Structure 1
């Protein structure tokens, strides 16, 4: 099984680890209910490094995403994200994903861990000219900070303007 860069930290903190999409991932620490309440009432950190990450760049990047996703990526401002779905030509669902607009002509996709190869092959098959797709899944790690105190907590850790 693969391990995320945070694997040793998870082990040392007593995480219960389970297999998912070829990775050994933490499923809980002190208990599901306590952790659920912590995230609902304060903040929680999730290691989602097993998810797929794809860079989409070039003059046709937006046109490509307009073609292959269900939401209007043209409405995204720099730094914004949008939940969407990719559809086959017959209307069936390829998968769901999150589309981030980094800046004009540069987007970043988060795709499901169990479908990285399938989704990337489908994206490649539908790729337009004058753009690039790069599967960064094995090169990047990803954490999600969630809960009502997420922004407050992050502001203590960075000088970046979080908006």
Structure 2
């Protein structure tokens, strides 16, 4: 605030959206560096249970996530991420997100702050059913589903451009 930030409420957070002018800030980031607190972003973990099995050589978790998202999650190496979309049953976009592979059968989904609870509920409901949005098999044994946890309040983050 002492630097002149314009503060607005967003998804339960007070966020600085502008300090000087948008054009001046854009030029500053292009010519120098920009740092942005992204702690408000939702962070969902999707991980296999100890007895989860691979499906056709793929991670069981990746197989299920591939029915929920637009990109082939199983192509990610550990430590890599990709921009993707969470879809509804008609293929419409619910949210855009970044999916990171943080283990062989463990993924971090970084979702938009305003959609965190809705995204979590959507995924949780389909995980409980052991199905994808189109009701096709998600590749997981419904008696042995993966775990979904909302870790949004456990971590902070900073983006550097």
Q: TM-score, normalised by structure 1?
A: 0.76
- How much has 1:12 moved relative to structure 2? 4.4
The residue number in structure 2 matching 1:122 is 122
Q: CA–CA distance in 2 between the matches of 1:130 and 1:92?
A: 25
Q: How many residues align?
A: 136
**3-state SS of the aligned residue for 1:33?**
helix
* 1:72 aligned onto 2:62: no
Name stretches of at least 5 consecutive residues in structure 1 with no aligned partner.
1-10, 147-163
- How much has 1:42 moved relative to structure 2? 2.7
Q: Which moved further from structure 2: 60-69 or 33-42?
A: 33-42
| Matches for 1:91-130 after TM superposition, within 5 Å | 91-127=91-127, 128=130, 129-130=144-145
The residue number in structure 1 matching 2:152 is 137
Name stretches of at least 5 consecutive residues in structure 2 with no aligned partner.
53-59, 131-143
Provide, for residues 57-114 of structure 1, a one-character-per-residue CA deviation record: whole Å limited to 9, x for no partner: 1143212211110101111111111111111122122211110111211110011111
* Aligned Cα root-mean-square deviation (Å): 1.5
Q: CA–CA distance in 2 between the matches of 1:66 and 1:102?
A: 16
**3-state SS of the aligned residue for 2:40?**
coil
- How much has 1:13 moved relative to structure 2? 3.8
- How much has 1:122 moved relative to structure 2? 0.2
The residue number in structure 2 matching 1:62 is 62
| Matches for 1:7-18 after TM superposition, within 5 Å | 11-18=1-8
The residue number in structure 1 matching 2:88 is 88
Q: CA–CA distance in 2 between the matches of 1:12 and 1:139?
A: 28
**3-state SS of the aligned residue for 1:126?**
helix
- How much has 1:132 moved relative to structure 2? 0.7
- How much has 1:140 moved relative to structure 2? 1.6
Q: CA–CA distance in 1 between the matches of 2:22 and 2:114?
A: 23
* 1:52 aligned onto 2:42: yes
Q: CA–CA distance in 2 between the matches of 1:98 and 1:31?
A: 28
